[in-house]
Amino acid sequence: MPKFTGIQLFTNPWGKTWYHGLQAKPEMRMLPGSWLAGFTYVLNYTWSKQLENFLRQEFAFDFKCFNNVGNQLTDIDVRQQLTMATVYEVPIGRGRSHMANMNRVLDPIVGGWNTNMMLDWNSGVPTGLNTG
């Protein structure tokens, strides 16, 4: 930088990153009257690929070199991810299918409960990538 003698560039200011992904998300709520009434689940699966293309050499600002660099996975690429969340409303308490006439003192203690679960699995990121 001729006007700013104290400024130096050590990394290249150009590059590109792109992402491709496929998502599938089924969701189901069980209807009243079934043996699983009050059960809800959401399942989400993602298959993806995140790529990048940029030059990693210091002080190499030639665009001809940049065009010869190949595409590579990013260091945060997660190929597969599966997430499942469930909620089950326990059918005990006022306005529910069991003990619907419970008194008002006992209902906040025994009735109106629900339970939930969440599962998250992914294939992880590439290890040792872009470190050298």
Residue 130 pLDDT exceeds 60? no
What's the distance, Cα to Cα, between the start and end of the chain in Å?
28
- Provide the number of structural domains found in the chain: 1
> Between the CA of residue 100 and those of 19, 33, 66, what are the distances in Å?
52, 15, 71
User: Whole-angstrom Cα distance, residue 37 to residue 101?
Assistant: 19
User: Whole-angstrom Cα distance, residue 94 to residue 5?
Assistant: 77
Q: What is the pLDDT of residue 21?
A: 93
Least confident of 9-13, 29-33, 88-92, 118-122: 9-13
Domain that holds residue 89: 16-122
20-59 tens-digit pLDDT? 999 999 988 877 766 677 888 899 999 999 988 866 555 5
Q: What is the pLDDT of residue 34?
A: 65
59 lies in some domain:
yes
11 lies in some domain:
no
Instruction: Give residue 66's pLDDT band: very low, low, confident or very high (50, 70, 90).
Output: low
114 lies in some domain:
yes
10 lies in some domain:
no
- Enumerate the β-bridge partners of residue 43: 84
